[in-house]
């Protein structure tokens, strides 16, 4: 029987960074996110006068990269938060 290691049992955490000033609010990332983490703003505009995507449920992100894959302007970055990132 194989032992579970610390890395195989801990929950993975991700951070989504959206470069909002370059986002055109096309909603492709919103449509493809399987966990409904993303939404397009309805009350604010970016520097270009466009609505933009924001992460509204960051804790639900599973790191599938659907958003980064479908974004036609490559304005979304996804980072895995590791233990080293959270250590004092």
Q: Which long-range contacts (CB under 8 A, 24 or more apart) does 63-72 make?
A: 63/12, 63/14, 64/34, 66/29, 66/32, 66/33, 66/34, 67/16, 67/29, 67/32, 67/33, 67/37, 67/38, 69/32, 70/28, 70/29, 70/31, 70/32, 71/28, 71/29, 72/26, 72/28
Q: In this predicted structure, what is the pLDDT of residue 3?
A: 46
Q: What pLDDT is stored for residue 30 in this prediction?
A: 98
**Number of structural domains the chain divides into:** 1
Domain range for 63 is 18-86
Q: Is residue 45 part of a domain?
A: yes
Confidence of residue 83 (pLDDT cuts 50, 70, 90): confident
**Residue-level pLDDT at 87:** 53
User: Does 33 have pLDDT greater than 90?
Assistant: yes
Average model confidence (pLDDT) across the chain: 88
Query: pLDDT tens across 37-73, in order?
Result: 999 999 999 999 999 999 999 999 999 999 999 999 9
Domain with residue 74: its CATH number is: 3.30.70.20
CA–CA separation, 20 vs 54, rounded Å? 8
């Amino acid at each position: 029987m194989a032992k579970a290691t610390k890395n195989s049992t801990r929950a993975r955490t991700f951070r989504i960074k959206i470069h909002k000033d370059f986002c055109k609010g096309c909603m492709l990332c919103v449509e493809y996110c399987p966990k409904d983490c993303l939404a397009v703003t309805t009350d604010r505009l970016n520097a270009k006068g466009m609505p933009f995507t924001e992460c509204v449920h960051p804790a639900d992100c599973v790191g599938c990269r659907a958003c980064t894959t479908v974004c036609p302007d490559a304005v979304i970055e996804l980072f895995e938060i590791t233990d080293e990132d959270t250590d004092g």
